[in-house]
Amino acid sequence: MARADLLLELIKYGLVNDSVSFRKAAEAICAEERAKQHTVLANKLEDLLKVARRPVQKELDSTPSIIKNGNLEQSLFWEKVPQKRLDHLVLPDNVKQICDELISEQNRTELLQSYGLEPRHKMLLIGPPGNGKTSLAEAIAESLMLPLLTVRYESIIGSYLGETAMRLSKLIDYAKTRECVLFLDEFETLGKERGDIHETGEIKRVVSSLLMHIDSLPSYVIVIAATNHESLLDKAAWRRFQIRLEMPKPTRAALEDFFQMFEKERGFKFGLQPSTLAKKTLGVSYAEAEELALTIFRQYVLGIPNSREKEISERVIARWQSQVKMSVNVERGDVETCQKNQ
């Protein structure tokens, strides 16, 4: 049986003759029935919606051309079939536990609803770049067997008054029609602090609109936002998220686990102990550690059958360490130059 809130929406929009919203509610019911393997009913609903498509299209003439004349999936977001898995990520214990809880709640939605409860579905990920925020969003989508929709800000943000808010509304309305994970990377792009005196009134209206849209999302749409600059977020945005997780840089132990997992997945040995690699690379992000590991693996593959893993690993790490040292020296030089100019 379809969810009660969707049936209520269907009736409500039908009574007020809002055919656009009526269709969206009907499509959401169709998606839910198909997810429950009620194929016959889902097919019949789709057939009915196809028959009624023409009159609804007339009411969509006011839709921005980015949606009306193109494919919505290609304009406002990227849709991806998730591949990364939670057990392939190196995560702090508290992060892993909370993600498991979220997934369990989503998988047992009907039980929670029978007690008048809804599963949590709004998560904010905080931390420096390259430490797994995007990977975690994808892994949660994979665990729930849902598509990952990543918002395309270049298509959302418009130059005309009200255009951004309108496109954002269209995006959220579409997301409501299906079970999915909606991912807003660099969330501060839209969720900036409204008290910032340097921001225009238009940005403040967009933030207000965004917060209302987040509130309106049903629990079958999991929204995950990520930011590297939590201090820029509007204070009200923090309260919208039921789960707030910090994704820190990897510790030495975490890096050791990462290199061990890399060896296991690739069937490859670095020639150095993972603990040694972790010691030599301490301070890097997961993204940097992965690129370092892939560089070593590439050179190993290109040198087969004469590859010597240990020599390759030591050479790549030595080059990486010299690059890090050089960048630090450049930064210090810039500081000294500024001080002299003062």
Tell me the two tokens of residue 260: 């061990």
pLDDT tops 80 at residue 123: yes
Per-residue confidence (pLDDT) for residue 37, from 0 to 100 = 75
Asked whether residue 130 carries a pLDDT value surpassing 80, the answer given is yes
What integer best gives the mean pLDDT of the chain? Answer: 83
Could you give the CA distance from residue 280 to residue 255 in angstroms, rounded to a whole number? Answer: 10
Given a cut of 90, is residue 25 above it in pLDDT? no
Identify whether the C-beta of residue 169 lies closer than 8 Å to the C-beta of residue 209. Answer: yes
Q: Give me the pLDDT at residue 1, please.
A: 52
pLDDT band at 67 (very low <50, low <70, confident <90, very high): very low
Pairwise pLDDT comparison (286 vs 237), residue with the higher score: 286
The three-state (H, E, C) secondary structure of 31-48, written as one string: HHHHHCCCHHHHHHHHHH
Residues 6+ apart with CB under 8 A from 267: none
Least confidently predicted of 63-72, 104-113, 158-167: 63-72
Amino acid 181 reads V
pLDDT at 195: 53
Going by pLDDT thresholds of 50, 70 and 90, the confidence category of residue 248 is very high
Q: What is the pLDDT of residue 330?
A: 60
What tokens does 287 get? 């993204």
Residue 109 clears pLDDT 50, i.e. is over it: yes
pLDDT (average), residues 326-336: 59
The pLDDT of residue 26 is 83
Q: How confident is the model at residue 222 (pLDDT cuts 50, 70, 90)?
A: very high
- Report how far residue 171's alpha carbon sits from residue 167's, in angstroms, rounded to the nearest whole number: 6
In DSSP notation, 220-268 reads TEEEEEEES-GGGB-HHHHHH-SEEEE-PPP-HHHHHHHHHHHHHHHT-
pLDDT at residue 329 greater than cutoff 80: no
3-state class (DSSP) for residue 19:
helix
> Who has greater pLDDT, 202 or 170?
170
pLDDT of residue 27: 81
pLDDT-based confidence at residue 208 (cuts at 50, 70, 90) = confident
Read off φ and ψ for residue 53, nearest 5 degrees. -65, -40
198 versus 75: the higher-pLDDT residue is: 75
Q: Are 120 and 102 in contact (CB under 8 A)?
A: yes
Predicted structure pTM score: 0.72
> What is the mean pLDDT of the segment spanning 3-13?
73
- Residues 291-314: pLDDT tens digits? 999 999 999 999 999 999 999 999
pLDDT of residue 57: 35
Q: Is the pLDDT of residue 19 over 80?
A: no
Contact 202, 161 (CB under 8 A): yes
Handedness of CA 93, 97, 103, 104 (dihedral sign): positive
36 — pLDDT class (breaks 50, 70, 90): confident
- The mean pLDDT of 180-192, rounded to a whole number, is 86
Q: What percent of the chain has pLDDT over 90?
A: 51
Give start and end residues of each alpha helix (H) in 72-132: 72-75, 93-107, 109-114
pLDDT range class, residue 139, cuts 50, 70, 90: very high
- Going by C-beta distance under 8 Å and a sequence separation of 6 or more, which residues neighbour residue 128? 228, 248, 249, 285
